[in-house]
Amino acid sequence: MIDPIIFTGNPLDRASELRSDPDWVAGQLAHPEARIVPFWRTKPLIRLEGARAFPAWTSVPALGDHHDPARTLFLGLNGTQTPFFACDVSAVDEPKDDPLLTGLGKFIDLRSICPNLSVPDTGILAQGKAILQWHHSHRFCSYCGVETTMVDGGYRRHCGACSHDHFPRTDPVVIMLVTDGDQCLLGRSADWTPGNYSALAGFVEPGETFEAAVAREVREETAIEVGNVRYFTSQPWPWPMNLMTAFFADALTTGITLRDNELEDAMWASRDQVRLALAGDKAAGFNAAPPLAIAHHLLKAWVA
């Protein structure tokens, strides 16, 4: 049993069979109960209640001129068929000076606030952040250079000049805990906080399986050969639009040689060390990844 992982458990039904109909999307936007959350330059609008945080859901009319249907993403329907949307208000120069927005909440970096949000809400906001960010960075047609238009409720951009369609990206990353009996392989990048170590990770390349990416990344970074790659779980990671896919793998060799300069250090850690690190005990000799990260859950499952 895996604990709920941040950015997973999005409860909304994306209604992908309905959202390609612009009249249907317009009808959902006009729904009297429709809820919408603004994002400003990748930060969601958050309502704080003590230590708890919530997406600052508001109505479309309450957003006034800030609501631009051309920058509005359909997120999905909840269990009572209430439609949920996200909209990009990045055109606002400084939201702190905007009484309408400050009256609703505060724009806060998703990573810093997610421990205060419910896990399902982190999943909804991850969806909004990743797709709105994709629209921001993919405004122009990659075939002809003309500005494209958001369609299908935000799940496609269409080029009116050359008719090509463009779809939101998800970039798969493999993260793997390589084990050899009672020890596991951890590494650290030079730019991390001193003492932090985590499972190895890297992007899947085109034409590559997850299993091959796991073996290649571990070989490139540490010269260790692995086999028996087993899928564990996955986590959307909206920086900007990654999907973390977590695996266990068996070490076939154990001698570490740092090879591609991605890691500053790599080491074998025992189960006891990992248990101490997960408990925040300095006697571990290193700091484990926080619960926000899927690496934390890989380590937790390994020592369970």
Interface ranges with Zn ion (CB under 5 A): 141, 143-144, 159, 161-162, 164
The alpha carbons of the chain give a radius of gyration, in whole angstroms, of: 22
CB of 156 to Zn ion, least distance (A): 13
CB of 275 to Zn ion, least distance (A): 55
Task: Give buried/exposed letters for 52-81 (b at 16+ CB in 10 A, else e).
Answer: ebebbbbebeebeebbeeebbbbbbbeeee
Q: Which is nearer to Zn ion, 66 or 166 (CB)?
A: 166
CB of 145 to Zn ion, least distance (A): 7
Q: Which is nearer to Zn ion, 162 or 252 (CB)?
A: 162
Q: Which is nearer to Zn ion, 67 or 166 (CB)?
A: 166
Both structure tokens of 267: 């080491």
Q: Which is nearer to Zn ion, 41 or 164 (CB)?
A: 164
CB of 19 to Zn ion, least distance (A): 22
Q: Any residues with CB less than 8 A from the CB of 60 and at least 6 apart, and which?
A: 29, 30, 34, 36, 67, 85
Q: Which is nearer to Zn ion, 140 or 155 (CB)?
A: 140
According to DSSP, residue 142 is labeled T
CB of 166 to Zn ion, least distance (A): 9
Instruction: Give the residue among 243, 242, 256 at the shortest CA–CA distance from 188.
Output: 256
Instruction: Give the residue among 35, 47, 20 at the shortest CA–CA distance from 87.
Output: 35
